[in-house]
Structure 1
Amino acid sequence: MMDVKTKLIERARTGVPGLDDVLGGGLTTGHVFLLEGNPGTGKTTIALRFLLEGAAAAEQCLYITLSETEQELRNGAASHGWTVDGNIEVFELAPAESLLDADQQQTLLYSSDLELGETTSSLLREFERVKPGRVVLDSLSEIRLLAQSSLRYRRQILALKHYFSRHGTTVLLLDDRTTEASDKTTHSLVHGVIMLEELTPNYGAERRRLRVSKYRGQTFRGGYHDFVIRKGGVTVFPRLVASEHRTGFVRRQIKSGVPELDALLGGGIEQGSSTLILGPAGTGKSTFALQFLTAACQRGEKAAMFIFDEELGLLFERAKVMGFALEELRDAGLLHIEQLDAAELSPGEFAQRVRDRVDQAQAKTVLIDSLNGYRAAMPEENSLVLHIHELIQYLNRQGANTFLTVAQHGLVGDMKTPVDVTYLADTVILLRYFEASGKVRRAVSIIKKRTGRHEETIREFRINESGLRLGEPLDQFQGILRGVPTFVGGGPLLAKQAAGDGHS
């Protein structure tokens, strides 16, 4: 009796990175599963990986192909660096030659009636010869065409299901949905259904995602999960659920290395919190974030930068002028810098890259610059906020400090934010241009901090070869955030600072 229970919970791992996590460990052995998707979504690649995983575990495997030739199948496997041999048998189920000969075609009986029976018999004979533990049947569209009617098709699939189940075989049925796409007959018969989709945005590479729509008696990770097909096979990026990841750490204040900025922040930011830096283009959002990143590296901690908007060569040169030695920190192994192309990247893959740096490389400071570029990688804005929420919560629970920048539209006065995520961040740093004495100046203020107190003042700042410099609070002016301040104090404070020690 114990053996039976053990058999019921056994899983046949697919070998596809990320997919077994989505499936809760793999495919329940001894059952029939459906893998469906339009042509080009990766069904054959996943099926081959499934059999290779079985062969690696010394299982006998059988690939039955009705739609591709054996050579095409082997060529496809070779393109990923795989060799289909050993414990994997490939059976090319071609139509009988008599059915291709016009002189031999039946006149009183439909040839499909004979061909369906002959196809099934050939399939079962090959199964009995190989006695496999894993089978892939590619594809159901051919059987559906031979069956001619929905009733005959359902009976044929049901018969195959019972036959395979009696032998304890784990079966993956592939369906390209080229015929009767609305027919859900197979869905009701199989143990589980994995659906593959390909989305084509207006610009950029195609996006692929999958969803487990059914899995009897098994908890699985629901929703859509991004995946890619590259040399080496399919890689799935399971949807990030922050509540599943929690790590204990000691909360402490993190310093920026600029005393005036730390004073503005009430002493610094808290370990394991998120900081959003808002402002129009050119105000210095990246510079504020780099100040925290370099300070972390100087403490001997690891940091990671994910850059969407700026070319790395220009970033290195610009940062070097301000005293940030990014290349040296990267070469020392303290700073990971990655330039991303929003047109070629899915949100799921990006989240996985960030997780890898935090989980595997132990990065404690993460910069995403900017959310405007990240938004370009999203199919729709509603999903962006959800993805960012889960990613921020995950990083917070790992004790990492997250910095995000958002470029606002406009230069002075009222600003428009392309996506409002201020409520998600623990701390919000606001940067603004303002005009005074015929010059364009820049000001910084803290408009939100969940943990601890912070200054409610506005400070002017400058960026030069010495890096980031903040001045004293501008308490003798009002209307700075509107862009045109009014002097209400007892002396020209800005002029004094400009003529002073170089601090703004």
Structure 2
Amino acid sequence: TLTVTQFLQGGATNGEKCLLLAFEESRDQLVRNATGWGFDFEKMERDGLLRVVCDYPDLSGLEDWLVTIQGIITDFAPQRVALDSLSALENVGTLKAFREFVIGLTSFIKHKEITGMFTATTGTLMGGDSITESSISTLTDSIILLRYVEMFGEMKRGLTVLKMRGSGHDKSIREFTIGKGGMQMGRPFRNVTGILGGAPMHVSPGDVERVWSQYDKEVDRRRPAEHRPTS
């Protein structure tokens, strides 16, 4: 939700109209959360730069939701759309209907040249599969993954860009903190493996060096003879 909030705030700062479709929290809760992070949703609404739509996902079927959302987008004409979250809509219908809903919505906003951000939760606190990873990853242009990471008895937060179609990006998993002003990006996690799988494990610098050395040897072994460096 914080990621979505900053996405919308960034759009409003640029003078873009933003639409938030929220299926997990009430409008009052969203406004309180945004205020706590230093963002003023109510001012954005007064300025005509934000529209917040909150509802219970199981009040309608997925096909009806698609028609409703398309109507809201056509009426408000935003440059950015955020949906929080797809997980709340996943159980409204069958997996086939859910996938068709996502295809229909993404196709619609792409046709309108709108930037969209959809959130999805993982099945467990520390990680694991999510609907974004398992069923609809091929439909998205980018995937940003958030994880909790245990470091020496302390819980930290990690972020990585798992996929960004048509663009280079930082491959590291970076720590981030949350405070007044939202998310603050930190340094990459070092000497930790297994974060994305939900089972982070600390390794010594010597172990990391040995792994990379073994990797380089394997790459060199598989390289065609004519391309191998000569001494």
- TM-score bucket of the superposed structures, by smaller chain: 0.7 to 0.9
Alignment partner, residue 485 of structure 1: 201
Q: Aligned AA for 2:126?
A: V
Alignment partner, residue 425 of structure 1: 140
Distance 2:37 2:204 in 1: 34
Shift of 1:347: 2.2
Which string of whole-angstrom CA distances, capped at 9 and with x for unpartnered residues, describes residues 278-336 of structure 1? xxxxxxxx111211111001111101011111122122111111112112111221101
Q: Secondary structure at the match of 1:396?
A: helix
Distance 1:376 1:311 in 2: 19
Alignment of 1:110-149 (within 5 A): none
Alignment partner, residue 229 of structure 2: none
Shift of 1:489: 4.1
Distance 2:185 2:201 in 1: 18
Distance 1:479 1:313 in 2: 38
Q: Secondary structure at the match of 1:434?
A: strand
Q: Secondary structure at the match of 1:363?
A: coil
Shift of 1:466: 2.8
Q: Secondary structure at the match of 2:130?
A: coil
Distance 1:367 1:474 in 2: 29
Alignment of 1:208-357 (within 5 A): 286-357=1-72
Shift of 1:361: 1.9
Cα 1:375/1:480, change in 2 over 3 Å: closer
Shift of 1:471: 0.4
Q: Secondary structure at the match of 2:124?
A: coil
Q: Aligned AA for 2:116?
A: T
Shift of 1:417: 2.4
Q: Aligned AA for 1:300?
A: G
Distance 2:201 2:41 in 1: 36
Alignment of 1:402-417 (within 5 A): 402-412=116-126, 415-417=128-130
Alignment partner, residue 364 of structure 1: 79
Cα 1:483/1:328, change in 2 over 3 Å: farther
8 A contact 2:39–2:181 mirrored in 1: no
Distance 1:488 1:466 in 2: 35
Alignment partner, residue 393 of structure 1: 107
Which string of whole-angstrom CA distances, capped at 9 and with x for unpartnered residues, describes residues 2-33 of structure 1? xxxxxxxxxxxxxxxxxxxxxxxxxxxxxxxx
Alignment partner, residue 96 of structure 2: 382
Which one has a bigger Cα radius of gyration?
1
Q: Secondary structure at the match of 2:171?
A: coil
Which string of whole-angstrom CA distances, capped at 9 and with x for unpartnered residues, describes residues 99-150 of structure 1? xxxxxxxxxxxxxxxxxxxxxxxxxxxxxxxxxxxxxxxxxxxxxxxxxxxx
Q: Secondary structure at the match of 2:113?
A: coil
Identity among equivalent positions (%) equals: 24
Distance 2:123 2:167 in 1: 30
Q: Secondary structure at the match of 2:89?
A: helix
Runs of 5+ unmatched residues, structure 2: 207-231
Return structure 1 stretches of 4+ with deviation > 3 angstroms: 487-490
1:456 and 2:186 aligned = no
Q: Aligned AA for 1:392?
A: T
Q: Aligned AA for 1:402?
A: G
8 A contact 2:158–2:173 mirrored in 1: yes
Q: Secondary structure at the match of 1:456?
A: coil
Which string of whole-angstrom CA distances, capped at 9 and with x for unpartnered residues, describes residues 366-391 of structure 1? 1111112122332x221110121121
Alignment partner, residue 468 of structure 1: 183
Q: Secondary structure at the match of 2:24?
A: coil
Q: Aligned AA for 2:152?
A: S
8 A contact 2:66–2:104 mirrored in 1: no
Q: Secondary structure at the match of 2:139?
A: coil
Q: Secondary structure at the match of 2:39?
A: coil
Runs of 5+ unmatched residues, structure 1: 1-285, 491-504
Q: Aligned AA for 1:373?
A: A
Shift of 1:350: 2.0
Question: What TM-score do the two structures reach when normalised by structure 1?
Answer: 0.39
Alignment partner, residue 76 of structure 1: none
Root mean square deviation of aligned Cα: 1.8
Q: Which region of structure 1 is more displaced relative to structure 2, 428-437 or 339-348? A: 339-348
Number of corresponding residues: 203
Q: Secondary structure at the match of 1:300?
A: coil
8 A contact 1:305–1:335 mirrored in 2: yes
Shift of 1:337: 0.2
Q: Aligned AA for 2:124?
A: G
Q: Secondary structure at the match of 2:163?
A: strand
Which string of whole-angstrom CA distances, capped at 9 and with x for unpartnered residues, describes residues 229-257 of structure 1? xxxxxxxxxxxxxxxxxxxxxxxxxxxxx
Q: Secondary structure at the match of 2:45?
A: helix
Distance 1:348 1:459 in 2: 38
